[in-house]
Each structure stands twice: as structure tokens, then as C-alpha cells.
């Protein structure tokens, strides 16, 4: 009702579900004195109540109309959920009702069904095949390429699947589309920081939605003693959710990643930046730049990356953290230092996002993919989505010195 045309007015809704042994009509009668008092007080303030309704037990009653033709004594049934004009418009626009925080948490939790045994066995077998190759300097790049190629195939498979209504049916459908061995291979490959950082580039456009579904699916496969493996897919899920504008799921996923591994630096930095309300565009720009640079044959390894500021005291290039778990399923993570230039670039990107307002053009760099334990980083590693090349850069390295440990 227009306040300019007819003056201010008011609608009153009294909503209460029936108690034990009570009917909706009895609720309407019990709340009648309250509705009457509200109408009198509003009238005394020259704000008439044009309609007062009681909503209870799926029906509604009017306190202002006693015409049985339009307001029957048994009440008028409410419309079915999701059948209103507003619900139809939201569905047409692609909007979905978000679940509760508990539901968000549940869809990222590891399996506790009978299928968890089969997934654990697949992880054990994948570890026997992949771990010796991941720690080998020459074979690591091949494993990374195989992991990302498999992940891309799984993303296309998820994207091509027909849509399913509801989060639980959709998650169950995604679980059926990803096999035990496929999930195990990608999960093991993501424990290599180089591979994980390259996968972080699937963060926008048509790649974001299937990537987020894949990371959720993989997080649910980190069963039994492989719980710490969930830090990688949970961090990627949090990053893609944040990059896509879903800060609620981003915070939940990143918090769960830190729960799986409290020392996971990538998750810590993203979690802090998201909680501070920074603009993720600064990190997106850096990842796009990294992709262009890593597509070049002359691109240098990440631990030889340029830095415009002097090294901070105590920072030293070193090996990455993250020894793969033992073949018996036990975790044997080490704690080795992240290359100092990469730490500084990530922090610079976070500072850039903190200083730049949302929507502004932000520059900076996030760290290049970190090398995994066991040797030098493979040169020429590519980044998903890289389309151009970056010229050769002047090398500048620092001698390693003992310093504090920083793990991802």
C-alpha cells in the first residue's frame, strides 16, 4: 500500500505453531487478544491495521474479515513451498535456497558408510603406485600432469551430468560419477603443492562450478586415516566458493581444512583474507599471471621467483612440507620451509586485497606452485587455463639460511 496516496498503514502477522494437543484454529483464538491490542494501539498512532493474520499449522486466518466465503472458519491452506511467484522467479534466475551451516558442514564430511572401506583400500593402492613417483624429481611432473588431466576429465563428467534438485541428491549423484580409484589418484596427486596450486586456477567462469563439485566430492573421500588429506580439496573448495562469491561456504570449507591440518598455510591465508572481507580479485589476478608465466619454457621455478623487496630475516628457501602418508595409512608429514619469495608474494596479494576496495583493480602475485619434498621443481610446469607466454626473467636467488618453518 502506498504511504503517499493513503497514508501509512500496517499489516500484522502472528505466526506460531500449535502446541501439543492444540490445533491451528485454537492458536488463532488464543492469539486473538494480542491481535486486537495491536490493532487498537496502531489506530491510536494513526497507523491503521488493514489486515491481521494468524499463521499456524499450514493455514492462515484473518482477524479483520469474518466473511466465510473468503475467510472460512477452518482457515485457508497455505501454498505449497516453492510454488509462489517469487519462488518461480528465483528458480528462473538460477537462485537456490541455501542450506544451513550444519548442512554445508555435512556435505564436506568424509564418508561413514560401507563405501568408506572400498575408498580406503583404493587410497592404499594408489599410495603404493604414486608416492615413489611423487618424491622423485623427474617423475613428479608426470604425476602432476596425469593428476590434472584426470581432474579435468572428472570435471567434464560432472558438468555433463543432468541437473538434480536438492543438495543431498546432487552430492549422491556426484559420488556415483567419481570412482574409488579416480578419487584416490587425484587426492594423492593433490598432496603435491605444485599440483594443488595449479588446480587452484579453476576458480571462475564455466570451470568454477564443476571444480567446486569435484573438490567437495574428493573431500568426502578422505576416509579413515586419510583425514588429513582433506586439507587440499577443502582448501580448494573454499577458494573456489570465495572466488564465486559464496563466502559462507568458503569460510566453512576453509575452517574444516584447518581442522584437518591446522598448519596448512594456504588455508590459513585464505581463511584470514575471507574473514577480513578482502576482495578475492587480487588473488585471482595473481593466479592468472602465474598461469601465463608458467606456460613459458623460460619461466623459472617458483623457488627462484623474483621479489622486489629484500628477504625478511629468518626466511629461507627450502623444501615444501607435506611428506605423503605412510603406506599403512599413517601420516608422516614433515615441516619444511616454504620458499621465502613465494611467502612474500602470497602475503603481498593478501595485503593488496586488504588495501584495495572491492571491485577495484588490484595487482600483486600469489606464490607460484610450491615444490614438493624430494628435489628441485620441474621446469616448464603449466598452469590450467594459461594462454600466453611470459618473457624470460632475470634470475635472482638467495642462499638458503636456517629460518622458521612455514608449512602449507
Tell me the mean pLDDT in the region 366-394: 39
Percent above pLDDT 90 for the chain:
41
Q: Report the distance separating Cα 262 and Cα 257, nearest Å.
A: 8
Residue appearing with cell numbers 574428493: 218
Q: What residue segments make up the domains of the chain, in order of their start?
A: 7-78, 101-355
Tell me the mean pLDDT in the region 156-180: 92
Model confidence at 233, in pLDDT bands (50, 70, 90)? very high
Q: Report the distance separating Cα 287 and Cα 365, nearest Å.
A: 7
Q: Report the distance separating Cα 286 and Cα 339, nearest Å.
A: 17
For residue range 89-129, list pLDDT tens digits in order.
Answer: 666 666 555 667 788 888 999 999 899 999 999 999 999 98
Q: Write out the three cell numbers for 150.
A: 584426470
Q: Determine which of 208-222, 342-356, 368-382 has the lowest per-residue pLDDT on average.
A: 368-382
pLDDT at 153: 96
The pairing of strands 49-56 and 10-15 is: parallel
Tell me which H or E stretch contains 232: helix 231-243
pTM: 0.55
Q: Report the distance separating Cα 192 and Cα 136, nearest Å.
A: 12
The pairing of strands 59-62 and 76-77 is: antiparallel
Tell me which H or E stretch contains 56: strand 49-56
Q: Report the distance separating Cα 216 and Cα 252, nearest Å.
A: 12
What is the pLDDT of the chain when averaged over all its residues? 74
pLDDT at 194: 84
Q: Report the distance separating Cα 301 and Cα 371, nearest Å.
A: 9
Q: Report the distance separating Cα 126 and Cα 16, nearest Å.
A: 55
For residue range 18-34, list pLDDT tens digits in order.
Answer: 988 999 999 999 999 99
Instruction: Tally the residues of the chain.
Output: 408
pLDDT score of 324 more than 60: no
CB 134 within 8 A of CB 188: yes
pLDDT at 98: 62
CB 200 within 8 A of CB 241: no
Listed residue (69, 64, 66, 61) closest to 30, CA to CA:
61
For residue range 172-206, list pLDDT tens digits in order.
Answer: 999 999 999 999 999 999 998 889 989 999 998 88
Q: Write out the three cell numbers for 265.
A: 598455510
Percent above pLDDT 70 for the chain:
63
pLDDT at 150: 96
Q: Report the distance separating Cα 325 and Cα 332, nearest Å.
A: 5
pLDDT score of 313 more than 70: no
Q: Between 184 and 348, name the one with better pLDDT.
A: 184
CA-based angle 246:250:255, to the nearest 5? 160
Cα-Cα end-to-end distance for the chain = 57
Q: Which residues of 230-253 are buried (b: 16+ CB within 10 A; e: fewer)?
A: bbbbbbbbbbbbbbbebeebbbbb
CB 71 within 8 A of CB 62: yes
pLDDT score of 88 more than 60: yes
Q: What SS3 class is residue 53? A: strand
pLDDT at 163: 86
Q: Report the distance separating Cα 77 and Cα 43, nearest Å.
A: 29
Amino acid at each position: 500500500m502506498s504511504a503517499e496516496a493513503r497514508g501509512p498503514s500496517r499489516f500484522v502477522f502472528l505466526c506460531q505453531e500449535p502446541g501439543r494437543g492444540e490445533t491451528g484454529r485454537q492458536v488463532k483464538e488464543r492469539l486473538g487478544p494480542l491481535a486486537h491490542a495491536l490493532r487498537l494501539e496502531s489506530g491510536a498512532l494513526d497507523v491503521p491495521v488493514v489486515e491481521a493474520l494468524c499463521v499456524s499449522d499450514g493455514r492462515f486466518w484473518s482477524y479483520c474479515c469474518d466473511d466465510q466465503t473468503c475467510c472460512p472458519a477452518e482457515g485457508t491452506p497455505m501454498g505449497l513451498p516453492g510454488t509462489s511467484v517469487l519462488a518461480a522467479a528465483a528458480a528462473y534466475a538460477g537462485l537456490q535456497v541455501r542450506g544451513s551451516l550444519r548442512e554445508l558442514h555435512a556435505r564436506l564430511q568424509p564418508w561413514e558408510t560401507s563405501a568408506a572401506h572400498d575408498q580406503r583400500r583404493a587410497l592404499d593402492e594408489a599410495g603404493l603406485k604414486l608416492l615413489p613417483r611423487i618424491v622423485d624429481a623427474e617423475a613428479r611432473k608426470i604425476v602432476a600432469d596425469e593428476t590434472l588431466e584426470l581432474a579435468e576429465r572428472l570435471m567434464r563428467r560432472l558438468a555433463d551430468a543432468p541437473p538434480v534438485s536438492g543438495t543431498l541428491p546432487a552430492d549422491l549423484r556426484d559420488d556415483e560419477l567419481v570412482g574409488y580409484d579416480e578419487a584416490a589418484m587425484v587426492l594423492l596427486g593433490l598432496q603435491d603443492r605444485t599440483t594443488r596450486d595449479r588446480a587452484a586456477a579453476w576458480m571462475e567462469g564455466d570451470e568454477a562450478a564443476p571444480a567446486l563439485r569435484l573438490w567437495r566430492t574428493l573431500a568426502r573421500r578422505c576416509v579413515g586415516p586419510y583425514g588429513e588429506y582433506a586439507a587440499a580439496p577443502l582448501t580448494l573448495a573454499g577458494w573456489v566458493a570465495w572466488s564465486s562469491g559464496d563466502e559462507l561456504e568458503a569460510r566453512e570449507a576453509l575452517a574444516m581444512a584447518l581442522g584437518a591440518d591446522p598448519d596448512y598455510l594456504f588455508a590459513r591465508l585464505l581463511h584470514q583474507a575471507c574473514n577480513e572481507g578482502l576482495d578475492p580479485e587480487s588473488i585471482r589476478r595473481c593466479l592468472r599471471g602465474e598461469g601465463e608465466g608458467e606456460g613459458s619454457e623460460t619461466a623459472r621455478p617458483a623457488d627462484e621467483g623474483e621479489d622486489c623487496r629484500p628477504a625478511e630475516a629468518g626466511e629461507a628457501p627450502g623444501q615444501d612440507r607435506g611428506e605423503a602418508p605412510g603406506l599403512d595409512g599413517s601420516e608422516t608429514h614433515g615441516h619444511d620451509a616454504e620458499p621465502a619469495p613465494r611467502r612474500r608474494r602470497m602475503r603481498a596479494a593478501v595485503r593488496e586485497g586488504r588495501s584495495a576496495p572491492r571491485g577495484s583493480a588490484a595487482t600483486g602475485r600469489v606464490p607460484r606452485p610450491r615444490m614438493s619434498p624430494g628435489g628441485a621443481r620441474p621446469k616448464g610446469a603449466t598452469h590450467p587455463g594459461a594462454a600466453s607466454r611470459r618473457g624470460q626473467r632475470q634470475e635472482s636467488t638467495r642462499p638458503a639460511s636456517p629460518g622458521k618453518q612455514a608449512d602449507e
